[in-house]
Amino acid sequence: MIDDFAGKIAVVTGGGTGMGRELVRQLAIAGADVAFCDIAPDTMAETAAIVADQAPNARIVTHRVNVAVESELEAFRDAIVDRFSTGHVHALFNNAGIAGGGSMFTVPRDEWENVFSVDWGGVYLGCRVFLPLLLEAPAGAVVNTSSVNGFYASVGPDRPHTAYSAAKFAVKGFTEALLEDFKVNAPHLSAHVVMPGHIGTKIVANTMRHSLHEPDAEVAELLIATAEMFETQAPMTAEEAARVIIAAVTNGEWRILVGDDAIALDESVRANPEGAYRAEFFTLLGDQ
């Protein structure tokens, strides 16, 4: 378990925007050296500039990575080893993710599989690539970002949500399985699964930006409005979410619900798992 991040080396995927940017910023302010990656060099540069201003003593490594591609994660790992002259890291935040891939019927297969490959594959491959460095640390933490859709596979009635939900369920189950795996094979490591509710991030906008398919003008206009609303009308900011995550990790909590909406949904699903996908369940949620 890591009880503070001062003097530690932390790795964050998806550090260009949203919760990833805030994790990078807050970890650096807490005294960590931070290596972070993203698929967009421009947003990485923005994050690096923020850190340079607010935590000038922190060492930073940036690298462009598609987390669904193992060789790119390996190149990122090698850059960390070289730039930090280290044989270990203390924390891995598998945070990168995209939205989309709603339906098995109406979404093109390549788009569906891209969502699954990033949201699940990025976590799995991140662990495969960085576990050897974590094993060399005196203590370490693996922090995997799932979602409320990792325990509840819906965003509302008549709105299929299969790729994202399946990936986030996989992340949750994998991380819970790591709890026992670490106890047996790496007792100095801790595993943590993060399940945010609606957080004000650019996940929708970023998904549009890196989409495999160009939407028509009418759909694009609707998506732009949706992306703006998702970020600006969220009940919790990315800054607040990152603060909750870091505090929970240092407190040794393995199951991290982020946001009052996540806590309420978790309680509702646990109270009525059989009825969780019935129409009246959505009505009850809306009344809370």
Query: Which pLDDT value is given to residue 233?
Result: 73
Query: Which pLDDT value is given to residue 41?
Result: 96
What's the rounded mean pLDDT across residues 10-38?
Answer: 97
| Percent share of the chain, pLDDT over 70 | 86
Q: Which one is predicted more confidently, 209 or 12?
A: 12
Is it the case that residue 225 has pLDDT exceeding 80?
no
Given a contact cutoff of 8 angstroms between Cβ atoms, the answer to whether 196 and 147 are in contact is: yes
Is it the case that residue 45 has pLDDT exceeding 80?
yes
Query: What sign does the CA torsion over 203, 206, 210, 215 have?
Result: positive
Q: Examine the residue annotation and report whether 164 is marked as an active-site residue of this protein.
A: yes
What's the rounded mean pLDDT across residues 53-58?
Answer: 98
CA distances from 143 to 57, 155, 157 (A): 24, 24, 31
What is the 8-class DSSP label of residue 214?
Answer: P
Encoded amino acid at 29, one letter: I
Given a contact cutoff of 8 angstroms between Cβ atoms, the answer to whether 272 and 281 are in contact is: yes
Lowest mean pLDDT among 33-42, 58-67, 193-202, 221-230: 221-230
Q: Which one is predicted more confidently, 168 or 232?
A: 168
Query: Which pLDDT value is given to residue 157?
Result: 85
User: What single string gives the DSSP state of each residue in 63-123?
Assistant: EE--TT-HHHHHHHHHHHHHHTT-S--SEEEE---------TTTS-HHHHHHHHIIIIIHH
Query: Which pLDDT value is given to residue 213?
Result: 61
CA distances from 208 to 3, 20, 139 (A): 37, 18, 38
- The residues, ordered by sequence, that sit 6+ positions from 181 with a Cβ below 8 Å of its Cβ are none
Query: In angstroms, rounded to a whole number, what is the distance separating the alpha carbons of residues 230 and 196?
Result: 14
Query: Which pLDDT value is given to residue 285?
Result: 60
Given a contact cutoff of 8 angstroms between Cβ atoms, the answer to whether 22 and 241 are in contact is: yes
Is it the case that residue 283 has pLDDT exceeding 70?
no
pLDDT bracket for residue 211 (50, 70, 90): low
pLDDT bracket for residue 219 (50, 70, 90): very low
Domains of the chain as residue ranges with CATH = 9-287 (3.40.50.720)
**3-state class (DSSP) for residue 188:** coil
Lowest mean pLDDT among 193-202, 222-231, 240-249: 222-231
Strand pairing class (236-237; 255-258)? unpaired
Other C-beta atoms lying within 10 Å of the C-beta of residue 178: 22
Each residue's pLDDT tens digit, 196-206? 998 865 554 45
Query: Which pLDDT value is given to residue 203?
Result: 54
Q: What is the mean pLDDT of the chain?
A: 90
Query: Which pLDDT value is given to residue 101?
Result: 87
Query: In angstroms, rounded to a whole number, what is the distance separating the alpha carbons of residues 120 and 144?
Result: 10
Q: Which one is predicted more confidently, 214 or 130?
A: 130
Is it the case that residue 178 has pLDDT exceeding 70?
yes
What is the 8-class DSSP label of residue 252?
Answer: T
**3-state class (DSSP) for residue 28:** helix
* Nearest Cα to Cα of residue 96 among 136, 124, 77, 71: 124
Q: What is the length of the chain? A: 288
pLDDT bracket for residue 224 (50, 70, 90): very low
pLDDT bracket for residue 155 (50, 70, 90): confident
Phi–psi pair at 127, nearest 5 degrees: -65, -45
Lowest mean pLDDT among 32-46, 60-74, 213-227: 213-227
